[in-house]
Chains A and B, each alone.
Chain A
Amino acid sequence: MQQRLIILTCLLLCGFGALAQFSASGTVTGTTGIALGGAHLHIGSRQIAADATGHYTVSGLAAGKVKFHVSYIGYQPIDTTVVVSGDIVLDFKLRVSVSALEEVAIQQPAGSRGTVREARIKTETIEKYSSQSLGDALKEVAGVSSLKTGSTVVKPIINGLYGSRVPVISNNVRLEDQQWGTEHAPNFDVNAAGKITVIKGASGLQYGGDAVGGLVLLEPLSVKKDTLMGKTIVDFSSNGRGGSISSGLHKGNVEGWSWNALGTFKYFGDREAPDYVLSNTGNREANFSGDVNYTTSRYEASVFYSYYRAQIGILSASHTGNVNDLYRSINGKVPSVIDDFTYDIGNPKQKVAHHLLKTAFNYHLSDNADLSAQYAFQFNNRQEFDVRRGNYSNLAALDLDLETHSAQIDYKNLLGDWTLKTGASGAYQSNFADPATRVRPLIPTYKKYDAGVYGIASWAVSPSLVLESGVRYDFSKIDAVKFYQVSRWEERGYDADFADIIYGEQSSQYLTKPSFTYHNVSASLGFRKQFHHEWDWYANASLASRNPNPSELFSDGLHHATGVIELGDLRLKQERAFKISTSVGKRWQRLSIDFNPYLNIIQDYMFLQPVGFETTIRGAFPVWEYRQTNARLAGVDFQSKFQATKHWRHELSLAYVNGRDVSGSADLIDMPPLNIGNKIQFAKEEWNRLLLELKSEWVTHQSQYPRNNFETNIVVDGVQVPVIVDISTPPPAYHLLHFYSEVKFKTLGAQTTLAFAVQNILDTRYRDYLNRQRFYADETGRNFQIQLKFNY
């Protein structure tokens, strides 16, 4: 594709000289003439920086074509090729980056934004997961694992934490899609992400102060040049006998109109474990996302809309009644329901839909200052269908409408060595729990109001040292309407503490209006230091506060997925996390390493703890309640990449975390065990850019876990006999091998990539500690996957 140059002034003076050694010099400035001291230049194979006045000189250039790449933070880079036949003078004028302020805030050069090293997932990697989910793609990052329900509901875990502790930010909007449930996956089509960034910890204060675990940032494709490009990915998988098709068009532009449009369909039947069909595990997805942007040199306006709709079957065998059923499932080793393969999805199942509409405006007040404003509306509907009797089987057992309006204003100013960012945000959310389900809702109807302000200052002490500090304040108020069974109300002891929120009594249920207000301060402080282009060192300390979510406050009933009665607590207060993390990286010519140890101390950490039993007419159920304790998570992530030869490459990633309940002297539940990934890659450019990849995934046995086993009675020969229900012991370690290969060629003018992959080559039987369905069935077996990708 023809590279269009964006050089406004390019002075080319050819000198005379017969020698083959020439020099190039000139200045790098902004369009307004401001000198861009320290601008980065790649000239041929050389890398240099402009001096404080923007001037650069490079000598020893050979005659012939020489590539120039000039870049500076916050400006659009310039790429050009110059034919050198003498000493030359080249001046570059860089234009202010037209990307929106929020993008600038998170788009400083790779690996060097803020004072926490961020992990990126590139487009090519995201595309490999086209038929899977966001949670699967995120596992590419060392230190990110997933909490699953079956094989299609995948939630990211960052450094041992998930759910409300890991906000997902889609195109600068915080996704409000009911992340409080462990079996609620982010409502996002992975194909709509042009880039995925993971921030481990709470340092991204512009997004909120409650990212106790970390942040996932999703950004749509955006190319800052005049181009129209399209992409279609077709994917077939043998396991599930289905596939996906995703097709998108992108009109990029420097100025004027640019837009995106992307649609994705997925269709899968039952997945299969090595020995049996995982009945009722099919899924469907239909997604659309698009945006329209208008850019001038002074401002950028955009409208973005995305729609996600999914229907997900939940393993039939995971529907259990009482604790005896659970005991039989755990001890039976084989799912209690195994039917022939089908594409049909029966109950239990989930149907979710998510709409996101965003409009944003970004104004360049000057070369150094930007002001942006945005408003977003989100609507999320979640319906969960359970195995019910008679006419109720077509009626959702849970039906929640979550509506969120949010607005924010951000301001950014570059003042010499200082970068200041500040902003304010507000949100209104309403949740409606439809009583037509004829099931008492787990999450009540409520309204929530949020407001926040933040300020972040970063100071480039020297070109190699940056200090950054930020502080944020958040206000939040939640007003709920909830019915409590009188017996539950009294059992919780609420009659003493919350008598004033009762507004009536009907059918042995109290009508209550719980209302809570929270004030939170969060902060971040850190630095990054670069040593001679090879070593860099990041260190950050952050303080985050997270309010109890509706599930933690209000749950009061049987959770069918786990066969446990889960009880929230109105007395819960915010949890506060203090995290220190450091990252040391070194980049040699062929080897790069990143070493990232961290310590997260969480005061009043909210978690579910088993507290006893309750007998109902359905039999006995264990009771778990949300409690608070002081927790400590310590761990390390390590990643290395080694380009052994031109063709061979090796990558290693390792993550370990230890989670302790410090007050209760116990291990924390659901902590990812030590896992090690190894990847060997062979690439041969000449053979249609052939790429072969063998990946090994080793997940060890988690030996640090809380002992939550309980005793129950089962009937043997008509007599009740006590037995232990082992819900604690993590499954054994497992090792999987995966294969991936691709070639690229041209067909009908399109760049075509043909990929063939095999997941779980050895058809290994295994269960994963972090899969909610590990009690009921094995994980999926071998899968052959063919993917065709056209870029045009």
Chain B
Amino acid sequence: MKNIKITTFALLALAAFTSCSDDDNPQIYIPVNEEEVITTVTTTLTNGGTTITLTSRDLDGDGPDDPVVTVSGPLAANTTYTGTVSFLNELDSPAEDITMEVEEEGTEHQIFFQAPAILGDFTYTDTDANGKPVGLTFTYTTGNAATGELIVSLVHEPNKDGAGVADGDITNAGGATDAQVVYPIEIME
């Protein structure tokens, strides 16, 4: 009698254990395309009829491949360019434009331009809902002939009230960096 009880119990346990369904969820065979990933940061500088395009593209996200940087040409010395920055996710097809999202959430984002002083000055020309700069549009006044690197950073949730932040100084901005690209700059007379 007692052995029957034990056996029954063991079999029940075993049945419960082995009867687990083996149906695979089809979702797991579809790769995740990270939709909020920024793959491409494009900075466009325009002066009159001249447009210089600087692009940094990293199609494998946080994968091992380095971003590919292209600059369409040299800049002219002592010239004021009207600039825009755009962000794309090219893993999506068609490519998703994330620039709009940054603009809509302007109070939570700021773009910073960092370059040695000899390359010239950057000035914000846009504002968010609180009257603070975002940096999607700006003017860039080049200096004399020189070469150097321009670093464009998109910071998420910066402290926009931090000292110097509204003037483009990243030092007290805090937040988390969503994008940071480095463009080689060449200014010719």
Contact = CB atoms under 8 A, between A and B. Distances in A.
Interface of A: 298-299, 317, 319-322, 324-325, 328, 336-337, 359, 361, 363, 365, 371, 373-375, 377, 387-390, 392, 405-407, 409, 426, 428, 430, 432-441, 445, 481, 483, 485-488, 491, 506-509, 511, 557-558, 565, 614-619, 621, 715, 717-720
Given A363-B5, A565-B62, A715-B151, A617 B181 contact: yes
A717 B117 CA distance: 7
Contact of A322 (B12, B20, B29, B180): B180
Interface in B100-154: 101-102, 104-105, 114-117, 119, 148-149, 151, 153
A419 to B, nearest CB: 21
Contacts of B170: 715
Given A336-B174, A426-B17, A439-B34, A324 B180 contact: yes
B63 A718 contact: no
B176 A325 contact: yes
Nearest to B112: A715
Interface in B75-122: 91, 98, 101-102, 104-105, 114-117, 119
B176 A616 contact: no
19 contacts: A299-B5, A319-B176, A321-B156, A337-B159, A388-B36, A389-B101, A407-B14, A432-B25, A434-B27, A440-B34, A483-B31, A487-B60, A507-B91, A616-B58, A616-B61, A617-B40, A718-B114, A718-B117, A720-B149
Contacts of A614: 62-64, 66
A373 B6 contact: yes
Q: Which of A389, A485, A507, A616 has the most CB of B within 10 A?
A: A616
A405 B20 contact: yes
Nearest to A563: B176
Contacts of B28: 432-433, 435, 445, 481
Given A487-B63, A617-B58, A507 B31 contact: yes
Given A557-B62, A720-B151, 19 more contacts: A337-B174, A361-B6, A375-B17, A390-B101, A407-B13, A430-B20, A432-B28, A440-B34, A481-B24, A485-B63, A491-B63, A511-B29, A511-B31, A614-B66, A618-B178, A717-B116, A718-B117, A719-B149, A720-B182
Interface in B29-72: 29-36, 38-41, 56-67
Contacts of A317: 174
Contact of A715 (B5, B13, B114): B114
A486 B180 CA distance: 24
Contact of A438 (B9, B12, B34, B177): B34
Q: Which of B31, B56, B65, B170 has the most CB of A within 10 A?
A: B31
Nearest to B60: A487
Contacts of A435: 27-28, 30, 32
A389 to B, nearest CB: 5
A325 B159 CA distance: 13
Contacts of B178: 321, 389, 618
A365 B3 CA distance: 9
Contacts of A486: 60
A720 to B, nearest CB: 7
A615 B151 contact: no
Contacts of B104: 390
Interface residues of B, number: 69
B10 interface: yes
A320 B31 contact: no
A371 B12 CA distance: 16
B67 A322 contact: no
Q: Which 7 A-B pairs have CB atoms at the shortest separation, nearest pair first?
A: A321-B177, A336-B174, A619-B180, A321-B176, A375-B13, A491-B64, A617-B58
Contact of B64 (A406, A409, A487): A487
B32 A439 contact: yes
A624 to B, nearest CB: 13
A19 to B, nearest CB: 53
B186 interface: no
Contact of A507 (B2, B33, B102, B117): B33
A392 B96 CA distance: 15
A198 to B, nearest CB: 29
Contacts of A481: 24, 28-29
Interface string B152-189: 01011101000000000010001111111110000000
B43 to A, nearest CB: 13
Nearest to B177: A321
B117 A440 contact: no
A324 to B, nearest CB: 7
A483 B61 CA distance: 14
Contacts of A361: 6, 9
A491 B64 CA distance: 7
Contact of B105 (A324, A374, A389, A717): A389
Contacts of B56: 617
Given A488-B64, A507-B33, A405 B180 contact: no
A483 B32 contact: yes
A375 B18 CA distance: 12
Given A374-B13, A390-B104, A617 B32 contact: no
Q: Which of B30, B104, B114, B174 has the most CB of A within 10 A?
A: B174
Given A337-B174, A374-B13, A387-B156, A508 B62 contact: no
B177 A409 contact: no
A373 B13 contact: yes
A92 to B, nearest CB: 28
A558 B2 contact: no
A618 B179 contact: yes
A325 B176 CA distance: 7
A405 B174 CA distance: 46
B38 to A, nearest CB: 6
Contacts of A375: 12-13, 16-17
B36 A336 contact: no
A488 B151 contact: no
B60 A488 contact: yes
Contacts of B20: 405, 428, 430
A593 B30 CA distance: 60
A331 to B, nearest CB: 11
B65 A487 contact: yes
Nearest to A335: B174
B36 A392 contact: yes
Contacts of B65: 487
A437 B32 contact: yes
B24 to A, nearest CB: 8
Contacts of A509: 31
Nearest to B66: A615
B63 A617 contact: no
A317 B157 CA distance: 11
A434 B5 CA distance: 41
B132 to A, nearest CB: 17
Nearest to B61: A616
B155 to A, nearest CB: 8
A776 to B, nearest CB: 11
Contacts of B14: 407
